Chains A and B, each alone.
Chain A
Amino acid sequence: MVKSDFSYNSKIEGEVIVTRADAVVNWVRSHSVWPMPMGLACCAIELMAAGGSRFDISRFGMEVMRFSPRQADCMIVSGTVTYKMAEVVRRIYDQMAEPKWVVAMGACASTGGMYRSYATLQGVDNIVPVDIYISGCPPRPEALLDGMMLLQEKIRNEGGSLKRTFRGRTVETKIVS
């Protein structure tokens, strides 16, 4: 008896794959996340290591670090966000085109970390909606890759629209597909 064949069979499907548009769009998006490296402190060194050949973030289609927010999908906030820099982070976030995601990399970006002081924003989620938090001080590149794979999972499971909550309000972005 032939094993159940769940894979693509050109004889049955006539070289046509039937799926939902959302699933295709999400699949494409999840494998071509172009990060905006918001490198603010030492976490950015680990971010750079993740981009190098040993850890090789290009395995996930994420090696295209875009220094222009217009071309980026995912802002990786890696480092301490000071109140002076918070304005810049928010403006760059605003300049990124939808759909967009934010990863808070490390303790400082997630909560302020050890910087309990007058100068430091206590978590970048106070000014932008964060999708993934990565613990560590700084996180190893493997932790960053794990967080980015979680982000891929999240992107794959998004419905026909992007909903994100920020400070109790729900922001919804329709995806035209």
Chain B
Amino acid sequence: MDAAALTQKFSRTQSLKSIDMPTFTVANDELAEVVRYLRDNQGFDLLADLCGVDWPNRSPRFGVVLHLLSTTNKEYVRLHAACDNDAVPSVTSIHPGANWHEREAYDMFGITFTGHPDPRRILMWESYPYHPLRKEFPLAGIEVPLPAADVAEVTGQKVEAAPMMGGPFVSHGGHMSGAEPQALDQSWNEEKPKA
């Protein structure tokens, strides 16, 4: 790819060090234009991935990462755009495949994609009050009512915090890499009854 042409055309775009593919930080309001430019002028015609990122200690906290693939030149590029008020421009009008990716990023992180044609949740139900992939959200979950009121009434069931003991990501206080997925025993188990 022609990195110089990209940074020349979009002066606020910065190259980032990366071990695998060319990576750029893109200005929030320029994201859609950059993606369109890369598609029309540099052959990046396939959106391979779009996902949200949560950095609790950074400001702005949330960001979006896109992986674009050029099927003619056989190369990838990675773009990162920081959110502005938890929002980034939607690229669905440029790559229709971004539609469900953006809905997932909205569902899991609460990132708003301005200009998205169908900004609904995709995995959790519409009335769910949380965004589960945010760092502060416990893996076990938080108790809320079942989405269907009549089923909740018949069964008396709620969305409950799951018992974490014996689960796959429960750490036992030893030395685990911070990069590993891990969960403390956040909820009830056989020995510690639910409060």
Interface residues of A (CB under 8 A from B): 83-84, 86-87, 90-91, 112, 114-122, 126-128, 167
Contact = CB atoms under 8 A, between A and B. Distances in A.
Interface residues of B, number: 31
Interface stretch (B12-20, B74-82, B98-106, B159-167): B159-167
A122 B163 contact: yes
Contacts of A86: 146, 151, 157
A116 B132 contact: no
B162 A118 contact: yes
Nearest to B161: A118
A122 B165 CA distance: 13
Contacts of A119: 123-124, 132, 141
B155 interface: yes
19 contacts: A84-B124, A84-B147, A90-B155, A114-B167, A116-B168, A116-B183, A117-B139, A117-B141, A118-B140, A119-B124, A119-B132, A121-B157, A122-B162, A122-B163, A127-B151, A127-B157, A128-B155, A167-B155, A167-B156
Nearest to A126: B157
Contact of A116 (B140, B142, B157): B140
Nearest to A112: B162
A59 to B, nearest CB: 35
Interface in B100-145: 123-125, 130, 132, 137-142
A117 B151 contact: no
A73 B139 CA distance: 37
Contacts of A87: 146-148, 151
A87 B132 CA distance: 20
Contacts of A90: 148, 151, 154-155
Given A116-B167, A119-B141, A83 B151 contact: no
A81 to B, nearest CB: 11
A109 to B, nearest CB: 15
A116 B162 contact: yes
Contacts of B146: 83, 86-87
Interface string B18-43: 00000000000000000000000000
Nearest to A84: B125
Contact of A127 (B125, B147, B155): B155
Nearest to A90: B151
Contacts of B137: 118
Contacts of B130: 118
A91 B154 CA distance: 11
Contacts of B124: 84, 119
Nearest to A128: B155
B147 A116 contact: no
Contacts of B155: 90, 126-128, 167
